[in-house]
Amino acid sequence: MKFINLGFNNMILDERIVAIVSPDSAPAKRTVAEAKEKGRIIDCTGGRKTKCVIITDSDHVVLSALSAEALGNRLNSEGDGE
């Protein structure tokens, strides 16, 4: 179990992440819109442009200003030395 830094002092538990997707696709836009309607959106962008959408196992949708590639690198690299 490890926390992944999303930037702006925001963290997410790696075990909760189901998918990391680009916000430009139609399914991602639809997922974000549905999450806003249900009150299950978490905005961790700090007022910046959304570069990736994180879907969790609890049906929450997290918006991040980090790119999907950068977040994937953090997910794979953090905690490897433990």
Q: In sequence order, what DSSP letters do the residues of 29-51 get, joined into one string?
A: HHHHHHHHHHT-EEEESTTS---
Q: Is the pTM of this model over 0.85?
A: yes
In a domain, 82, yes or no: no
Question: What residues make up the domain containing 72?
Answer: 3-77
What does the pLDDT look like over 16-65, one tens digit per residue? 999 999 999 999 999 999 999 999 999 999 999 999 999 999 999 999 99
User: What's the structural domain count of the chain?
Assistant: 1
Residue 79's pLDDT is what?
57
Question: Cα dist. 7→30, 34, 51, 65 in Å?
Answer: 24, 24, 12, 8
In a domain, 61, yes or no: yes
**What is the C-alpha to C-alpha distance for residues 49 and 60, in angstroms, rounded to an integer?**
19
